[in-house]
Amino acid sequence: MDIVQVSAELAPWSKTGGLGDVCGALPRALAARGHRVMAIAPRYKAYEGAWDTGARAQFHLFGSRHEVAYFHLLRDGVHHVFIDHVSYRRPGIYGDEHGVYGDNLFRFALLCRAALEAPLRVPLDGGPMGEACVFHANDWHTGLLPVYLEGLYRSVGRFPLAPCVHAIHNAGHHGAFDAHHFAGLDVSTRWWPACDMDGRLNCLKAGITLAAKLVTVSPSYARQLCIDHGHGLEGLFAHRARDLWGILNGIGPEWDPATDKHLPAHFSADDLSGKAACKAALQRELGLPVRPEVPLFGVVARLDHQKGIELIMGAAPWLLRQDVQLVVLGSGGAQYEDWVRRMAREFPKRARGWVGFSEPLAHRIEAGADLFLMPSRFEPCGLNQLYSMRYGTVPIVHATGGLADTVPTWDPASGQGTGWAFPDFAVDGLVQAIGWALHTFHGHKDAWRQVQQNGMRRDSGWDRAAALYERLYGSAFG
Ligand code: ADP
Ligand code: GLC
């Protein structure tokens, strides 16, 4: 198949969270299965090895003409295509220290327009891809893609067969704008009802309404979208439930403790000795007492309402009165960032907080910690619990969405389970789960080793997911 994936983030070039990781990894897995894959994202800055193809396209948007250039980089069998326009060349992806960019609707509408021309204009080995491809759009940023596909191409006989599959990584972000902006999009008002939610232009709703198939990143979240986690779009999701798939994310080869370039030592399920060295190195790096026997808790997250940071804040006074260590890496809401700094000040021998974004430190926390806290309010899939399990770091999670689907609670009777998942979103649920985990850590070393190894041996590769995406695309063509 010819597959054209379009997203606002594409790791390792651009990333604020899991969207970037997934959009970077899935195309590689699809290419490895023999498909021709284009992964399209904005060119936020000059990327080494990505060359100007010479292809250009012009679009009329918001009252004036805009020209984009197409840059190309073939890596791991994937044709990475970066859309160049002056509005992308800024310090942040969605905003900077002054807030979100005021022209994001324009920037991502332009991405959709440019992406639809990419298979027609960007020369690959044997010329452009052509019209018989499947478009795979991601989140609200690409919600307008099927509007343009239907309104500007299909209505005049172009792309007669090409379907659009829309992937929902987070239904909490709609891309909602005042209705009068619709006039700037340069499509017929015939398409307004698809975009209209409560009188506002809603990009996510447009994608959900018009895409041939929908997919989200876990089976549980797919169900929850139709019931109570659709952020106001439950009815529409329920209406489209037969077209809505749930496919769990995988994790890429850069998250492997046996080869991870950010780690001071390496390890695997069969030989965990390198993990102890990673723990000691992390304690040293952060200026914590170097003690192998003390349980070290890690948190790496966007500090957002979604992530249930309140539960960690609620449990911390109890947790930090015990002989434990806690390391938090994250950035986001000011109230959470303030708490991270305050907690580290109050418990200098037990806690460290690192406010910011650091890919290397994220890897070293995953490797050096014993336990990982992820009490998300809702979680479409979640990657950090998957990374934790791969690194022998036992996750404690709220049983929601992808967390419920990937972290079975340890059952001493059967020897099954990879962590602890608590059912109700409440501080005492988290406290109780931590209590059980600490009891096992201190008192049952063999059981602890088993939980770690169960997680490390879990198949979290991308190939299984890629095979399901293949079937999804096939059904979209049908
Ligand atoms: P989400 O996409 O909702 O943020 P995921 O668990 O799917 O949640 O993915 C988060 C990704 O972002 C992981 O790769 C994680 O390591 C990374 N990440 C989040 N915050 C930071 C940070 N402050 N520094 C480095 N990496 C981070
Ligand atoms: C989103 C979700 C997260 C998911 C990621 C990648 O940001 O919040 O749960 O893992 O996308 O799909």
Residue 264 covered by a domain = no
Question: Residues 237-278: pLDDT tens digits?
Answer: 999 999 999 999 999 999 999 999 999 999 999 999 999 999
Peptide bond preceding 91 in cis form (omega within 30 of 0) = no
Which residue among 19, 21, 23, 214 is best mutated to probe the pocket of ligand 2, counting the most ligand atoms within 8 A of its Cβ? 19
Ligand 2 mean position to 111 CA, how many Å? 21
Q: Phi then psi for 196, rounded to 5 degrees?
A: -80, 120
Residue 232 covered by a domain = yes
Q: In Å, how far are 63, 156, 189, 303 from 251, measured between CA atoms?
A: 42, 40, 41, 22
Residue carrying structure tokens 């070290």: 296
Residue 266 covered by a domain = no
pLDDT at 211: 98
How many Å apart are CA 286 and CA 266, to the nearest integer? 19
Report DSSP letters for 86-107, one per residue. GGG-SSSSSEETTEE-TTHHHH
Considering the domain architecture, whether residues 427 and 466 belong to the same structural domain is answered as: no
The reply to whether ligand 1 has any atom less than 6 angstroms from the CB of 302 is yes
The reply to whether ligand 1 has any atom less than 6 angstroms from the CB of 380 is no
Question: Residues 36-76: pLDDT tens digits?
Answer: 999 999 999 999 999 999 999 999 999 999 999 999 999 99
Arithmetic mean of pLDDT over the chain: 97
Considering the domain architecture, whether residues 282 and 209 belong to the same structural domain is answered as: no
Q: Which ligand 1 atom is the nearest neighbour of the CA of 331?
A: 23
Considering the domain architecture, whether residues 214 and 290 belong to the same structural domain is answered as: no
Ligand 1 mean position to 69 CA, how many Å? 30
Query: Can you give the residue range of the structural domain that contains 473?
Result: 2-250+462-477
Question: Residues 293-318: pLDDT tens digits?
Answer: 999 999 999 999 999 999 999 999 99
Considering the domain architecture, whether residues 213 and 72 belong to the same structural domain is answered as: yes
Q: Which of 242, 276, 241, 271 is nearest to 258 (CA)?
A: 271
Residue 34 covered by a domain = yes
Q: Is the pLDDT of residue 478 over 80?
A: no
The whole-number average pLDDT for the span 409-433 is 98
The residue whose C-alpha atom lies closest to atom 12 belonging to ligand 1 is: 17
Q: What count of other Cβ atoms lies within 10 Å of the Cβ of residue 46?
A: 10
pLDDT at 97: 87
Report DSSP letters for 400-469, one per residue. -HHHHHH-PBPBTTTTB-SBEEESSSSHHHHHHHHHHHHHHHHH-HHHHHHHHHHHHTS---HHHHHHHH
Considering the domain architecture, whether residues 7 and 60 belong to the same structural domain is answered as: yes
Indicate if the alpha-carbon torsion angle 254, 419, 439, 319 is positive or negative.
positive
The reply to whether ligand 1 has any atom less than 6 angstroms from the CB of 301 is yes
Ligand 1 mean position to 300 CA, how many Å? 7
The whole-number average pLDDT for the span 154-169 is 97
Question: Residues 180-220: pLDDT tens digits?
Answer: 999 999 999 999 999 999 999 999 999 999 999 999 999 99
pLDDT at 213: 98
The reply to whether ligand 1 has any atom less than 6 angstroms from the CB of 331 is yes
Considering the domain architecture, whether residues 188 and 239 belong to the same structural domain is answered as: yes
The whole-number average pLDDT for the span 447-474 is 97
Residues with CB under 6 A from ligand 2: 17-19, 22, 169-170, 217, 249, 379-383, 402
Proximal ligand: closest to the CA of 19: 2
Q: Which of 81, 82, 76 is nearest to 33 (CA)?
A: 76
Ligand 1 mean position to 19 CA, how many Å? 9
Ligand 2 mean position to 380 CA, how many Å? 6
CB 375 within 8 A of CB 312: yes
pLDDT at 125: 83
The residue whose C-alpha atom lies closest to atom 9 belonging to ligand 1 is: 18
Q: Which of 397, 412, 406 is nearest to 450 (CA)?
A: 412
Residue 284 DSSP one-character state: H
Question: Residues 376-413: pLDDT tens digits?
Answer: 999 999 999 999 999 999 999 999 999 999 999 999 99
Residue 262 covered by a domain = no
Residue 260 covered by a domain = no
The residue whose C-alpha atom lies closest to atom 12 belonging to ligand 2 is: 169
pLDDT at 267: 98
Residue 258 covered by a domain = no
CATH of the domain at 321: 3.40.50.2000
Considering the domain architecture, whether residues 282 and 414 belong to the same structural domain is answered as: yes
pLDDT at 235: 98
Ligand 2 mean position to 339 CA, how many Å? 24
Considering the domain architecture, whether residues 34 and 108 belong to the same structural domain is answered as: yes
pTM score, whole prediction: 0.96
Number of domain units in the chain: 2
The reply to whether ligand 1 has any atom less than 6 angstroms from the CB of 382 is yes
Q: Is the pLDDT of residue 284 over 80?
A: yes
Q: Is the pLDDT of residue 78 over 80?
A: yes
Residue carrying structure tokens 């995953």: 366
Confidence of residue 126 (pLDDT cuts 50, 70, 90): confident
Q: Which ligand 1 atom is the nearest neighbour of the CA of 19?
A: 2
The whole-number average pLDDT for the span 420-442 is 98
Q: Which of 120, 114, 150 is nearest to 132 (CA)?
A: 120
Considering the domain architecture, whether residues 243 and 308 belong to the same structural domain is answered as: no
Considering the domain architecture, whether residues 311 and 448 belong to the same structural domain is answered as: yes
